[in-house]
Structure 1
Amino acid sequence: MVRIKHRYLLVDILYPSGNPHSSRTRTADIPAHVAIHAPTPNHLTPALLAKLIREEIAVNFGDWGVGRLGTGGLGVKYFSPATSTAIIRCPRAAFRIVWAALSYMDRIPSSSSSAGGPGTDAGTPCVFRVLRVSGTMRKAEEEAIRRARREILRTRKIMADRDGGVADALNLGREDPADDCHAAAADFAVEDDDDIMDDAED
């Protein structure tokens, strides 16, 4: 039996203009590091993200690019609006096409336009950054958890350097920074065992 090989892309969504939920631009009391990692609007769902990627592939690579994905070959296995992180599964032969399409995407459509309404808003400017390409979902999860741990510690250090009181508020009563990391790890869920079987990395 031939097993279809997949690749898992760990993607981070960045907002150079700050929080997409707020009409205000970046303020002085919010560090640039925190503002660029703002949460994603709730109307962006895994299904909508997959649709946007397919549309971008169709625009840039035509029918050939869509055909490389195969039937049901592209899917968003994990998406967290709170951390603006996604894990996208695609056929191994087409992961560079998906990566290129993500690089061309520069905005998230507004809620009215994504629902098919006549919205005049062009959407929220953003950057889709591919952090890792792996052969198993487990490796993508481990990388996401490692980066979440690093971002938590980095943000705490920035806030501690600026104001000790704000840093204490970020601790939320936790004495061990690892508690935040365990909470981030618990947010991941593997949908089936086939996703974590080891592939040959070639």
Structure 2
Amino acid sequence: MVRFKNRWILVEFIPVVQGTAQLGKSPTGNGLKLDGKIIWNALRQSVLASFGDTGWGAVGLSLTVKYFSPTTNICIIRVARDQHKIAWGALTLITSIDGARFIPNVVHVSGTIKHAQLAAITHNREVIARYRALAKTPVGYSDVYESFLDTSTREIEALQD
């Protein structure tokens, strides 16, 4: 018996902000809150527009959004190993999601969920460090990001294949 082999894609959706952004405010002008379903629909539309029905037929059954963090805008996507390049290509061709402009940045691609989890946890810590640097907080300062890091680490580690 042969098992179903996957690729796990870790993506960061970087919002494109017109003008100056303020920390703590919505990065998009229309206040769009991303979630897994919205990302899946945008990825579906990108596959259909770029690769047609044949591309969607190849990718559609195995494509799932397993995790999304609205704080750091990172997402873990599972896709079949043979079709991961179609999904990766469609991800990089996404320019806007429901009218809000985003730049998808593929951070990591792995063959196991464990390596995707480790990369996501590491990336979360880097993004939170950037937020703290923007806010100019001291290193030992305890803030809401500590609880976010704890909960997001538990959520990511709880993901199952």
Task: Name the TM tier (shorter chain).
Answer: 0.7 to 0.9
Contact (CA 8 Å) 2:16, 2:27: kept in 1 or not?
Answer: no
Aligned to 2:47: 57
Contact (CA 8 Å) 2:63, 2:78: kept in 1 or not?
Answer: yes
Unaligned runs of 5+ in 2: none
Q: TM-score, normalised by structure 2?
A: 0.81
Aligned to 2:110: 134
Aligned to 2:83: 94
Q: CA deviation at 1:83?
A: 1.6
Contact (CA 8 Å) 2:91, 2:104: kept in 1 or not?
Answer: yes
**Partner amino acid for 1:61?**
F
Contact (CA 8 Å) 1:79, 1:86: kept in 2 or not?
Answer: yes
Higher relative contact order (CA closer than 8 Å, sequence separation 6+): 2
Equivalent position SS for 1:188: helix
Q: CA deviation at 1:180?
A: 5.8
Unaligned runs of 5+ in 1: 19-24, 110-122, 161-166, 196-202
Contact (CA 8 Å) 2:72, 2:127: kept in 1 or not?
Answer: no
Contact (CA 8 Å) 1:38, 1:84: kept in 2 or not?
Answer: no
User: Is the strand fraction higher in 1 or 2?
Assistant: 2
Contact (CA 8 Å) 2:110, 2:116: kept in 1 or not?
Answer: yes
- Supply the distance in 1 between the matched residues of 2:143 and 2:76 (Cα, whole angstroms): 31
Q: How does 1:73-112 map to 2 (within 5 A)?
A: 73-109=62-98
Aligned to 1:184: 152
Equivalent position SS for 2:43: helix
- Of residues 20, 24, 43 in structure 2, which corresponds to 1:26? 20
- Supply the distance in 2 between the matched residues of 1:48 and 1:150 (Cα, whole angstroms): 25
Equivalent position SS for 1:67: helix
Identity %: 29
- Supply the distance in 2 between the matched residues of 1:151 and 1:83 (Cα, whole angstroms): 7
Distance 1:171 1:187, change over 3 A: farther
- Supply the distance in 1 between the matched residues of 2:59 and 2:83 (Cα, whole angstroms): 6
- Supply the distance in 2 between the matched residues of 1:155 and 1:80 (Cα, whole angstroms): 15
Q: CA deviation at 1:94?
A: 0.9
- Supply the distance in 2 between the matched residues of 1:191 and 1:185 (Cα, whole angstroms): 10
